[in-house]
Structure 1
Amino acid sequence: MNRVAVIILNWNGITFLKQFLPSVIANTPAAIADIIVADNGSNDESVQHIKATHPSVQIIQFDRNYGFTGGYNKAISSINHEYTVLLNSDVEVPQGWLEPLVAEMDKNKEVGACMPKIIAQQNKDSFEYAGASGGFLDKFGYPFCRGRILSSLENDNGQYDNPTPVFWASGACLMVRTRLYRELGGLDSDFFAHMEEIDFCWRLQHEGYKVMAYPQSKVYHVGGGTLPNNNPRKMYLNFRNSLLMLTKNLPKRLLFRTLFIRMILDGAAGIVFLLQGKWSFFVSVLKAHRDFYKMADKFIEKRKSISKHSTLGLYKKSIILSYVVKGKKTFSRLNKADFIEK
Structure 2
Amino acid sequence: MHTYVSVICNVVIYAFITDKKQSEQAAAITNKTTVKHEQLFEALVLPDLGALGRPAKSANLTVEELAAVAESERQTGYNAWLSERISPERTLHDMRHRSCKKLKYALAELPAISVVIAQHNEEPSVLLRTLSSLRDRTPTALLREILLVDDGSVKIADNFTAYLRFKYGKLLQLLRLPKQRGLMQARMAGARKAQAEVLVFLDAHVEVTQGWLEPLLAPMLERNGSCTTPIVDTIDHKTFAYKRGKPSRGFFNWEFNYVQLPLLPAEQQALPAPHDNPIMNGGLFAIEREWFFKLGGYDEGLRLWGAEQFELSLKIWLCGGRLLEVPCSRVGHLYRDDSYQVAYTKSSSSASQAVSRNYRRVAEVWLDEYKDKLYANVPHLTQIKVGSLKQQKALRQRLRCKPFKWFLDNLASDFLALYPLQDPEDYAIGALQSLAAPKLCLDRAGSKTQPKLAACDEDLLYPRLEQAWYLSHFRDLHSSYLCLELQQRQPNAAVLLWQCHHQAGNQFWFYDQQSKQLINGQRKSDQRCLEAQVEQRSLVANLCNATNVRQHWKFGYVNEKRLEDFWKNIELL
TM-score, normalising length from structure 1?
Answer: 0.73
Q: Are the equivalent residues in 2 in contact too, given 1:250–1:310 (CA < 8 A)?
A: yes
**Which shows bigger deviation, 214-223 or 299-308?**
299-308
Structure 1 position 237, deviation (Å):
4.3
Rounded Cα–Cα distance in structure 1 between residues aligned with 2:256 and 2:152: 32
Rounded Cα–Cα distance in structure 2 between residues aligned with 1:223 and 1:330: 23
Q: Structure 1 residues 330, 87: CA separation in 2 closer, same or farther (over 3 Å shift)?
A: farther
Q: Which residue of 2 aligns with 1:151?
A: none
Q: Structure 1 residues 162, 238: CA separation in 2 closer, same or farther (over 3 Å shift)?
A: farther
Q: Which residue of 1 aligns with 2:559?
A: none
Deviations 1:135-183 (A, max 9, x none): 21235533212469xxxxxxxx999755211112232211111101111
Q: 2:310 aligns with which of 198, 202, 219?
A: 198
Q: Which residue of 1 aligns with 2:523?
A: none
Q: Which amino acid aligns with 2:300?
A: S
Q: Structure 1 residues 329, 124: CA separation in 2 closer, same or farther (over 3 Å shift)?
A: farther
For the pair 1:20 / 2:126, whether they are aligned, the reply is no
For the pair 1:6 / 2:123, whether they are aligned, the reply is no
Q: Which residue of 1 aligns with 2:370?
A: 254
1:81-92 alignment to 2 at 5 Å? 81-92=196-207
Rounded Cα–Cα distance in structure 1 between residues aligned with 2:332 and 2:223: 25
Rounded Cα–Cα distance in structure 2 between residues aligned with 1:72 and 1:260: 29
Q: 1:242 aligns with which of 336, 352, 359?
A: 359
1:307-326 alignment to 2 at 5 Å? 307=397, 308=401, 309-311=403-405, 312=407, 313-314=411-412, 315-316=415-416, 319=419, 325-326=473-474
Structure 1 position 103, deviation (Å):
1.4
Q: Are the equivalent residues in 1 in contact too, given 2:129–2:206 (CA < 8 A)?
A: no
Q: Structure 1 residues 224, 69: CA separation in 2 closer, same or farther (over 3 Å shift)?
A: farther
Structure 1 position 235, deviation (Å):
5.0
Q: Structure 1 residues 224, 186: CA separation in 2 closer, same or farther (over 3 Å shift)?
A: farther
Structure 1 position 26, deviation (Å):
0.8
Q: Which residue of 2 aligns with 1:164?
A: 275
Q: Structure 1 residues 162, 3: CA separation in 2 closer, same or farther (over 3 Å shift)?
A: closer
Q: Are the equivalent residues in 2 in contact too, given 1:247–1:300 (CA < 8 A)?
A: no
Q: Structure 1 residues 9, 139: CA separation in 2 closer, same or farther (over 3 Å shift)?
A: same
Q: Are the equivalent residues in 1 in contact too, given 2:216–2:329 (CA < 8 A)?
A: yes
Q: 2:140 aligns with which of 30, 51, 68?
A: 30
Q: Which residue of 2 aligns with 1:215?
A: 327
RMSD after superposition: 3.4
Q: Which residue of 1 aligns with 2:464?
A: none
Q: Which residue of 1 aligns with 2:498?
A: none
**Higher CA-based Rg:** 2
Q: Which amino acid aligns with 2:129?
A: Q
1:27-176 alignment to 2 at 5 Å? 27-33=137-143, 34-43=145-154, 44-45=156-157, 46-55=160-169, 56-111=171-226, 113-122=227-236, 124-125=242-243, 127=245, 133-146=248-261, 161-176=272-287
TM-score, normalising length from structure 2?
Answer: 0.45
Rounded Cα–Cα distance in structure 1 between residues aligned with 2:325 and 2:210: 18
Q: Which runs of 5+ in 1 are unaligned?
A: 149-156, 268-287, 332-342
Rounded Cα–Cα distance in structure 2 between residues aligned with 1:190 and 1:228: 27
Structure 1 position 316, deviation (Å):
2.9
Specify which structure has the bigger relative contact order, considering alpha-carbon pairs within 8 angstroms and separated by 6 or more residues. 1
Q: Are the equivalent residues in 2 in contact too, given 1:191–1:241 (CA < 8 A)?
A: yes
Q: Structure 1 residues 208, 224: CA separation in 2 closer, same or farther (over 3 Å shift)?
A: farther
Q: Structure 1 residues 137, 162: CA separation in 2 closer, same or farther (over 3 Å shift)?
A: farther
Structure 1 position 71, deviation (Å):
0.9
**Which shows bigger deviation, 310-319 or 82-91?**
310-319
Rounded Cα–Cα distance in structure 2 between residues aligned with 1:317 and 1:105: 32
Greater helix share, structure number: 1
Sequence identity percentage: 18
Q: Which amino acid aligns with 2:473?
A: V
Matched residue count: 290
Q: Are the equivalent residues in 1 in contact too, given 2:254–2:374 (CA < 8 A)?
A: no
The secondary structure found in structure 1 opposite 2:320 is: coil
The secondary structure found in structure 2 opposite 1:245 is: helix
